[in-house]
Structure 1
């Protein structure tokens, strides 16, 4: 078999079968076939490391007990334009088989945009329940970002199809909910549930900002998603504001 035929043969094999084939390929006299074998082994090692990391995130949540846990996180506290979005996600934390784990989950800022999109779809399919809370720039200007940050969590939690026994949040306590709450510093890098909420919220808000970019192309919302990049600030000074700008955030610019 030539290299392409070997690749085709290996492509649909299980991880265990690939590893056995890799051992044979590394003994082959052809360098390109050797390299394929080495790549298969390295890929397996990387996946094993990722499985161990993600199991640690699930274990962190399971340590709170055999209960329904909602992880919550937000995106959009700091931008000059657009809404603030929060997500609440309840995972099946008893899904311990490697194939049931959602590999790749992490703080959404550490994941590429393409990977976030893929993961958001997987999370929504595998979650026991998930929900979104959103407040626009007018609510932010009226009530302040701190109030809105808390309110989007309350909104998202109230929309869940399953009421959790515990809410775990990233960094801040959630006030005004009739459910026990633990807040965790850098929770989106420690908790599977919070990491998933971080990804779902980020993808939801980014997609909204991409749509706003079509309406208001001069501000570059498709790249800055409302944050205060130099290009965004220059556009505000040149064109003024648009209906989704947070006027309370622009006092030092206008």
Structure 2
């Protein structure tokens, strides 16, 4: 059986034929920038699953391929909702609760009513829409994989804009992850207001000058 058909059968079984959103997040492991969650509603039909059969977890595809996939997803989607939790919210709530907040906001941003949300991972969260966690959902469920792709493209573009306001950190290259170059810039410049001050590598670089508010 082809992979797209296995996905179709799984999503159909999980949804029970209801209008369903796939939800995933990007940026949870970063030390700067928001966590971004996206909800995607796709038609539950064979043609859509065949056409989008090469959509997979965003981390497994190159940036140029990811952008092309994102355009194809947008052309087929019935609805797309984006939600974010800011660095300040991450510091205040913790990363898990902030991730769930971003996911709830992404569902709230949908302009299509849904009866179920399929969420990547093994943890559900409270929402007026029933939430069903799917382990390895970004590989097994097409709407979740689509949400992963849209979220990654959206967040990468956002981090490129932050790079303009906070030059020197290299946000457009590492998009907030704790790479060696990022940590070196952090030690040299100190944390900015888009860094997560509760995260160890950032907290260790706080100095008497305080936080960099950018240009």
TM-score, structure 2 length as denominator?
A: 0.88
Matched-pair contact (CA < 8 Å) for 1:80–1:227: yes
The question of 1:229 aligning with 2:197 is answered: no
1:70 aligns with one of 18, 21, 30:
21
Task: Give the structure 1 partner of residue 63 of structure 2.
Answer: 113
Q: Does residue 138 in structure 1 map to residue 88 in structure 2?
A: yes
Moved over 6 A (4+): none
CA RMSD of aligned residues (A): 1.8
1:136 CA drift (Å): 1.4
Cα deviation for residue 252 of structure 1 reads 4.1
Aligned equivalent of 2:165, options 184, 209, 215: 215
Deviation of 1:216 after TM superposition, in Å, equals 2.1
What is the rounded CA distance, in whole Å, between the counterparts of 1:252 and 1:77 in structure 2? 19
Asked if residue 159 in structure 1 is aligned to residue 109 in structure 2, the reply is yes
Q: Does 1 or 2 have the higher relative contact order (CA < 8 Å, sep 6+)?
A: 2
- SS of the residue aligned with 1:217? coil
Pairing 1:186-225 to 2, within 5 Å after superposition = 186-225=136-175
**CA drift at 1:58:** 2.4
TM-score by length of 1: 0.75
Partner SS state of residue 196, structure 1: helix
Q: Distance in 1 between matches of 2:205 and 2:190?
A: 10
Deviation track 1:16-35 (CA, whole Å, cap 9, x = no partner) reads xxxxxxxxxxxxxxxxxxxx
Q: Distance in 2 between matches of 1:124 and 1:155?
A: 19
Structure 2 CA distance for aligned equivalents of residues 139 and 176 of structure 1: 18
Q: Which deviates more, 201-210 or 134-143?
A: 134-143
2:196 aligned partner:
246
Contact 1:75 1:198 in 2 (8 A): yes
| Alpha-carbon separation, structure 1, partners of 2:33 and 2:89 | 11
Instruction: Provide the residue aligned with 2:130 in structure 1.
Output: 180
Q: Distance in 1 between matches of 2:65 and 2:53?
A: 11
Distance of 1:217 and 1:152 partners within structure 2: 26
Partners in 2 of 1:156 and 1:174 — Cα distance?
15
CA distance in 1, matches of 2:10, 2:61: 20
Residue of structure 2 equivalent to 1:6:
none
**Larger Rg belongs to:** 1
Q: CA deviation at 1:100?
A: 5.9
User: How far 1:86 sits from its partner (Å)?
Assistant: 0.2
Q: 1: distance between equivalents of 2:178 and 2:194?
A: 14
Three-state SS of the structure 1 residue aligned to 2:203 is: coil
The structure whose residues are more often helix, as a share, is 1
Aligned residue pairs total 203
